[in-house]
């Protein structure tokens, strides 16, 4: 039975695919009804599915959907439309508890069945935790076909809507309550704790249901009257500002009636001091409000406030200190006047100004007040600095430094002032020096003014300014070579002749040749780069070993060749063996499939395969070449195979290329006068070096002109595809980041004899000779139902598969 169910499931899957291959047939009309659309919790309901119109069918697949939080599936029973032998349904085996599936399958019928009537009755129970609201049950026909394998159009089936109801037995009364100034009230209402609804009467009917808080009556609010503040005085009490309510008679300290207040009285105020009154011996405080003496404030004067006296000056009198009361300010001991003293003058005689000191006119200075006056009586004060005659400053002549020679004295730099006839070592006249202190005696030693050597072919010397030669000596040091004579280590001049045997410079090679796997090499002869003299003979380099290739194969034998010279590697050519057994594999675009094969253990070539299925061939899409511009990327022409997801430069699929290798970068802008002559783009003000940033698996970003982010596609490097034991990936030749990383699939396909078909992984059916042209024109992707994985087959192959599977099912059942 399990095998039969698998076969039927495969048949149903094939039939579903066939819906895309044939025109739709006549319509099926079904209706759904329920015996109670307002059930309560823990109640059962029955759903009836009726087939009202049936042009004829042999297969009908169905499922139904419901909310498992509200309903529980109880049972499903066949109606009176079809014989129950064709009904296949098992809720316990369904993978989705909220979406049970079943089918009517009469595959062995000799004709269409056109029965109508009750198709199914399905029972549900409302859960005791179901929400009190609407819930839907939907019946779906997900696949069907008639005896000719044509699908029938199914009219839309409306969902059945249930409303889970409550008897409100737990409803409780909240009595009515009147509102006052500050508290709201309410009308009477009932609340059902079971369903959480509210009602306006004790019958708790749908018509009396009300919204939450609709029973609330608002507070009445205060009717407030303002009473301004009456200040207290030193004679009587006052009242604070307050508001009184004419409804409830409460008093409040605010105009909104939020803060209730009981005590309104402001106590009698204290006297407020205004001033002191006094007599000769005592003083007392007087109240500002009532004008009376404040009790307890009368006291005697303290005489402790002292105002300091002032000494007399030459022109103004002084006075002694004064004493008064510190409380009321009455003067008790007045100050006495002290007469002015008069000036005490000293005469300052006139003085002429010098180079470094100010002079002055004649004037008088008082020794008492230090004030200055033009006259001895002190009637003409000096108010500015006009009595001062400013210093004259030096009148300098500069004498520059003169260096001494071997026979003539020199001098250091100095300056002479013609006004004061003094000598100085600086132009500002800050440091005075003695006359002739600047003299520098003659050195008595010869000196070469420019310090350069004079030479002849044999010696070098210096010449003094007096004409005398000194420090004369022969050239020495240095080393001559085959190109240049020696250079004197003292004066730096060349002398003597070249040394033809001293080859101290660079060298070069003549006749150099690299060794290969077919020819010997030669190191080359060594020559002097300066004089081209041969210095040393070269030596022979032995031939290199061959570089072995991977195994190369033919139909009957294998071998390795040198990857450089392409000659066979000795001892590698041999016949294939059949030592390894390879499990089955599905055909690819370029490789055939097979159920089992023998593989050579040396070169891994498949040398023998059973039940071969031809390679599928590529399914190419061509993309034409497009030239790049300064605003858009271009591309070279390329082909893409939708079967193997690879890219090729040719339509035959012989030359695979890397993804995005066809991309042609944008052309540079042709900027003239600040704008591109092609696209009109403005020339950027700043140019920054490009930096690459990984954006995603397809693009990297270029941070380029003025910091703008320019996305560009990854371009596979020359290696192509990198692999390890688990993954394969590519590396972008531009930004260097990894992209396209995928896990390596390890799938196995087993093809057995047709009568015992087991599908473990996707396979591609072979096509018959008659249908090969039709198959290449139209492909169909099968993706449902589970558990069979998606398979891509040709339309002709699909029909053949359906027929074969049907015959197998009948043969199995007859056994």
pLDDT tens string 143-154: 888 888 888 888
* pLDDT surpasses 90 at 590: no
Contacts of 274-278 with CB under 8 Å at 24 or more apart are 276/327, 276/328, 276/329, 277/328, 278/325, 278/328, 278/330
Q: Where are the domains of the chain?
A: 2-163, 171-217, 396-440, 454-495, 507-541, 556-610, 618-681, 684-750
Average pLDDT, the chain: 80
Give the span between the Cα atoms of 247 and 180, in whole angstroms. Answer: 9
Chain segment 368-427, per-residue pLDDT in tens: 888 899 998 888 999 888 889 888 899 999 999 998 888 888 899 999 999 999 999 999
pLDDT at 206: 59
More confident residue, 714 or 2: 714
Does 2-163 carry CATH code 2.40.37.10?
A: no
Q: What are the φ and ψ backbone dihedral angles of 13, each rounded to 5 degrees?
A: -65, -45
pLDDT at 603: 92
Tokens 């409000």, residue located: 289
pTM, two decimals, is: 0.30
* pLDDT surpasses 90 at 125: yes
More confident residue, 587 or 107: 587
* pLDDT surpasses 80 at 767: no
Average pLDDT for 521-525: 93
pLDDT at 205: 66
Tokens 């520098």, residue located: 440
Give the span between the Cα atoms of 490 and 481, in whole angstroms. Answer: 19
* pLDDT surpasses 60 at 773: no
Tokens 């009636």, residue located: 257
Determine contact, residues 45/39, Cβ cutoff 8 Å. Answer: yes
* pLDDT surpasses 60 at 22: no
- Which among 341, 361, 342, 343 is positioned nearest to 351, based on CA atoms? 361
pLDDT at 815: 38
- From residue 692, alpha-carbon distances to 730, 735, 795 in Å are 17, 6, 48
Average pLDDT for 170-195: 86
pLDDT at 314: 87
pLDDT at 326: 87
Determine contact, residues 596/581, Cβ cutoff 8 Å. Answer: yes
Give the span between the Cα atoms of 764 and 6, in whole angstroms. Answer: 19
pLDDT > 70: what percent of the chain?
83
pLDDT at 639: 96
Instruction: List the end-to-end C-alpha distance of the chain, in Å, as a whole number.
Output: 12
Give the span between the Cα atoms of 174 and 145, in whole angstroms. Answer: 63
More confident residue, 756 or 160: 160
Enter the tokens of residue 216: 């609330």
Q: For strand 709-713 and strand 722-723, is the pairing parallel, antiparallel, or unpaired?
A: unpaired
Distance of alpha carbon 768 from its chain centroid, rounded?
57
Average pLDDT for 247-251: 87
* pLDDT surpasses 70 at 690: no
Q: What DSSP string runs through 393-444?
A: ---EEEE--B---SSS-EE--EEEETTTTEEESSTTS-SEE-TTTTEE----
How many C-beta atoms surround the C-beta of residue 68 within 10 A? Answer: 12
- For helices 2-18 and 795-814, the axis angle rounded to 10 degrees is 150
Lowest mean pLDDT among 141-145, 235-239, 756-760: 756-760
pLDDT at 648: 94
pLDDT at 605: 87
Give the span between the Cα atoms of 389 and 379, in whole angstroms. Answer: 23
Give the span between the Cα atoms of 626 and 631, in whole angstroms. Answer: 13
- Which among 394, 310, 411 is positioned nearest to 356, based on CA atoms? 394
Indicate the DSSP class of residue 377: T
pLDDT at 768: 38
pLDDT at 541: 94
- From residue 215, alpha-carbon distances to 161, 177, 190, 205, 226 in Å are 32, 10, 10, 17, 34
Buried b (16+ CB within 10 A) or exposed e, 663-681: beeebebeeeeeebeeeee
């Amino acid at each position: 039975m399990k095998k039969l169910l698998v076969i039927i499931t495969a048949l149903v899957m094939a039939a579903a695919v066939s819906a895309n291959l044939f025109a739709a047939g006549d319509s099926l009309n079904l209706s759904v009804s329920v015996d109670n659309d307002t059930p309560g919790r823990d109640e059962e309901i029955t759903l009836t599915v009726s087939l009202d119109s049936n042009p004829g069918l042999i297969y009908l697949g169905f499922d139904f959907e419901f909310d498992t939080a509200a309903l529980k599936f109880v049972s499903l029973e066949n109606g009176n439309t079809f014989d129950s032998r064709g009904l296949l349904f098992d809720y316990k085996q369904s993978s989705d508890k909220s979406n049970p599936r079943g089918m009517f399958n009469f595959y062995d019928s000799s004709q269409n069945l056109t029965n109508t009537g009750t198709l199914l009755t399905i029972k549900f129970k409302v859960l005791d935790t179901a929400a009190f609201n609407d819930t839907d049950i939907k019946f779906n026909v997900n696949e069907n076909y008639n005896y000719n394998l044509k699908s029938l159009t199914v009219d839309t089936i409306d969902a059945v809507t249930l409303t889970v109801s409550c008897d409100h037995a737990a409803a409780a009364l909240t009595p009515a309550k009147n509102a006052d100034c500050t508290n709201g009230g309410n009308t009477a209402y009932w609340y059902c704790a079971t369903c959480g609804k509210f009602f306006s009467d004790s019958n708790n009917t749908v018509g009396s249901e009300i919204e939450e808080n609709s029973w609330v009556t608002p507070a009445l609010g205060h009717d407030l009257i303002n009473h301004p503040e009456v200040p207290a005085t030193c004679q009587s009490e006052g009242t604070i500002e307050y508001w009184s309510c004419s409804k409830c008679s409460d008093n409040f300290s605010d105009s909104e009636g939020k803060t209730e207040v009981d005590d309104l009285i402001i106590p009698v105020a204290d006297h407020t001091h205004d001033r002191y009154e006094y007599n000769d011996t005592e003083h007392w405080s007087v109240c500002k409000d009532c004008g009376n003496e404040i009790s307890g404030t009368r006291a005697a004067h303290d005489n402790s406030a002292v105002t300091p006296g002032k000494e007399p000056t030459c022109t103004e009198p002084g006075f002694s200190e004064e004493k008064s009361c510190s409380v009321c300010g009455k003067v008790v001991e007045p100050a006495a006047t002290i007469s002015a003293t008069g000036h005490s003058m000293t005469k300052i005689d006139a003085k002429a100004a010098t180079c470094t000191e100010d002079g002055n006119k004649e004037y008088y200075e008082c020794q008492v007040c230090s004030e200055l006056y033009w006259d001895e009586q002190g009637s003409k004060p000096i108010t500015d600095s006009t009595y001062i005659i400013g210093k004259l400053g030096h009148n300098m002549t500069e004498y520059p430094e003169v260096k001494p020679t071997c026979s003539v004295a020199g001098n250091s730099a100095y300056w002479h002032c013609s006004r004061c006839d003094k000598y100085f070592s600086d132009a500002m006249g800050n440091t005075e020096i003695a006359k002739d202190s600047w003299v520098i005696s003659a050195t008595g030693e010869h000196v070469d003014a420019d310090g350069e050597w004079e030479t002849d072919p044999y010696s070098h010397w210096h010449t003094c300014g007096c004409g005398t030669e000194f420090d004369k000596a022969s050239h020495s040091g240095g080393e001559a070579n085959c190109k240049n004579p020696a250079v004197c280590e003292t004066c730096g001049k060349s002398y003597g002749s070249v040394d033809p045997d001293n080859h101290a410079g660079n060298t070069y090679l003549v006749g150099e040749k690299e060794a290969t796997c077919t020819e010997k090499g030669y190191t080359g002869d060594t020559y002097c780069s300066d004089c081209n003299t041969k210095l040393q003979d070269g030596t022979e380099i032995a031939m290199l070993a061959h570089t072995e290739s991977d195994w190369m194969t033919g139909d009957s034998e294998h071998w390795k060749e040198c990857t450089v010279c392409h000659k066979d590697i000795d001892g590698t050519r041999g016949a294939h063996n059949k030592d390894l057994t390879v499990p089955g594999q599905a055909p690819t675009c370029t490789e055939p499939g097979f159920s089992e094969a023998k593989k050579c253990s040396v070169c891994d070539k498949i040398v023998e395969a059973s039940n071969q299925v031809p390679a599928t061939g590529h399914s190419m899409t061509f993309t034409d070449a497009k030239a790049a511009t300064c605003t858009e990327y271009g591309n070279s022409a390329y082909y893409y195979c939708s079967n193997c997801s690879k890219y090729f430069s040719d339509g035959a699929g012989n030359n695979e290329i890397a993804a995005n290798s066809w991309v042609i970068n944008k052309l540079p802008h042709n900027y003239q006068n600040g704008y591109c002559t092609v696209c009109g783009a403005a020339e950027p003000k700043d140019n920054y070096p490009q930096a690459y940033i990984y954006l995603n698996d397809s693009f990297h970003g270029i941070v380029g002109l003025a910091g703008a982010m320019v996305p560009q596609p990854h371009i596979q490097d020359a290696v192509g595809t990198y692999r390890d034991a688990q993954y394969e990936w590519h590396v972008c030749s531009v930004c260097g980041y990894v992209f396209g990383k995928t896990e390596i699939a390890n799938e196995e396909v087993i093809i057995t004899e047709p009568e015992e078909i087991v599908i473990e992984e996707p396979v591609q059916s072979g096509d018959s000779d008659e249908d090969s042209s039709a198959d290449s024109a139209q492909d169909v992707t099968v993706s449902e139902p589970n558990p069979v994985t998606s398979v891509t087959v040709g339309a002709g192959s699909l029909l053949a598969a359906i027929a074969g599977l049907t015959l197998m099912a009948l043969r199995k059942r007859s056994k």
